[in-house]
Chain A
Amino acid sequence: MTLLRLTNVGKSYGGVSAVRNFSFDVEEGEVVGLMGANGAGKTTVFSLIAGTQPVTTGQIWFAGQRIDQMPAYLISRLGIARTFQIVRPFSGLTVLDNLVIAALHGHDRAPSRSSADARSRAILQEVGLADQANRLAGTLTLAGRKRLEIARAIATGPRLLLLDEVLAGLTATEVAAALEMIRHLREHYQLTLVVIEHVMRALMKLCSRIVVLHHGEMLAEGAPADIVVDQRVISAYFGKRAS
């Protein structure tokens, strides 16, 4: 079943178009990678799906419902959760409370505070933040805040999770651990994922399909193994090979 469908989506800021005529589908249970050089429009696509910004043209459908005119909070309640490239934890609240609030308001709303609390603690356990539950979120390390960002999104009980460069800025060991965690979470919560990432090896490991954006347009789409040898992708990332 198609969970998410974008048809001819466009976004312009004044005269600059950040995304042009972009269409793609995500099937339920799929893990799709979204890649492209800086400024290609990846995060804008996430903001359009999540309703943080309105589309200029085109339509977005989620589980059979048109969502491109909806405010962000309604989209979240329908079951789309996102992380932010520059993390936005509730710094003045504890790690646990960051999740409890999400569990109380998101798609799968916890009926009571105690059930929100129980769900949040279980998620913290899975992302390895259980021992930090009572710390203020603002005092976590970058790796910790990235984990919290994912954990808070999952606490809303989403069907579709949009991960925006959650591996950027992490050390090699941290990347490996985070990848393992994402894979586990995906299985455990039966999530559909769209992942923006620059770490190519991570995309290869996670995704069944990769979509490449270039200057706001789709450049290529296909299995990871095909994408890495695609000449258009290689030249978009690295420029043309010197002869």
Chain B
Amino acid sequence: MMRPALSEHLPFVGALAAALVASAALIVWGDEYAVSIGLTLLMWVALVQSWAAFSGLSGYISLGHAVFYGVGAYVMVVGWQILPVWLGVILAGLVAGAIALLLGWPSLRVRGPYFVILTFGLAEFVKYIVVSIEAALGRSGRLLIGTPSLRELFGAMLLLAVASTIILYVLRRSRLGSGLLAVREDEIAAEAIGINTARTKLLVFGLSAIIPGMVGALMSLRFTYFEPMQSFSPVTSFTIVTIAVLGGSDDVPGPLLGAAFLVALSELLWARAPELYMIILGVLLVSFVLFAPEGIYGKLRSWNRGEAQ
């Protein structure tokens, strides 16, 4: 962290450019199946990078990020055929950010397992509010007709994945991000060196919800259907944390590696051994927590450090 030389950013810029070229090639030459896998991968990248911008840097593990995805999807379907599609996506992000500020204000006062449980509970709470609203309106689901094509959605998701990656990269090296790292390490010491910890946490929590809201909006366009139990499913939050644990969430490469690993694994096993998929995933997760809690990227880094010494 924190060395000012320009050359330090070269690997990041290079990797980003390579990813963009690969994605462009996929849009132009890829078949429907390849593009849809690409879309799923980019979705997880965007979600986990956004999550890591808050939870990875602050150490406050949010188990409620599914709520922002769900809120985004809900804003999209409510505004469907009222708002222009892409304006709906932006609005979904802003509403998700506002909800995060509202939920973060009380919940960021506790930390550790209390924060984890509280974010999970609040996410479920919002889910059932939406379920109730939909039931009161007499709707059991909403259909979206005339949504953008898969390739258009892929392009939009690519933008979000790139944006979330750049945000995490810049944030981690910024004044604001350095405050968040200090919060992760020791909140009292952080206050003592001039960091407004409450404001720092809330601000980044709000920021980290915007892109997940937009991702939710895009995915509702992809599924062309909205059902609150599915859009607000806590499995989204669990998967985000799983990817972060597998890859590491301390810096940009972690979520990328984790997302690629999980998407590849699920594609390999889903069709061939569906009954084994969750078992294998569970075993992997336990092994990572026990033997490589810093994730794939953290492990690679510590090997590197070991070799350097």
Contact = CB atoms under 8 A, between A and B. Distances in A.
B194 A106 contact: yes
B191 interface: yes
A101 B182 contact: yes
Interface of A: 50-52, 71-73, 76-77, 81-82, 84, 88-94, 96-97, 100-102, 104-107, 109, 112-114, 116-117, 152-153, 155-156
B11 interface: no
A113 B192 contact: no
Given A90-B182, A105-B175, A100 B193 contact: no
B307 interface: no
B195 A84 contact: no
A105 B176 CA distance: 9
Contact of B2 (A51, A71, A91, A97): A97
A113 B193 contact: no
B179 interface: yes
Interface centre among B2, B184, B192 (most CB of A within 10 A): B192
Interface string B175-192: 100110110111011011
Contact of A101 (B181, B196, B197): B181
Given A77-B194, A96-B2, 4 more contacts: A71-B191, A84-B189, A93-B185, A94-B1
Given A90-B182, A97-B1, A101-B182, A73 B191 contact: yes
Contacts, number: 91
Nearest to A112: B4
Nearest to B179: A105
A39 B160 CA distance: 56
Contacts of A96: 2
B197 A73 contact: yes
Contacts of B272: none
Contacts of A92: 184-185
A96 B175 CA distance: 15
B192 A52 contact: yes
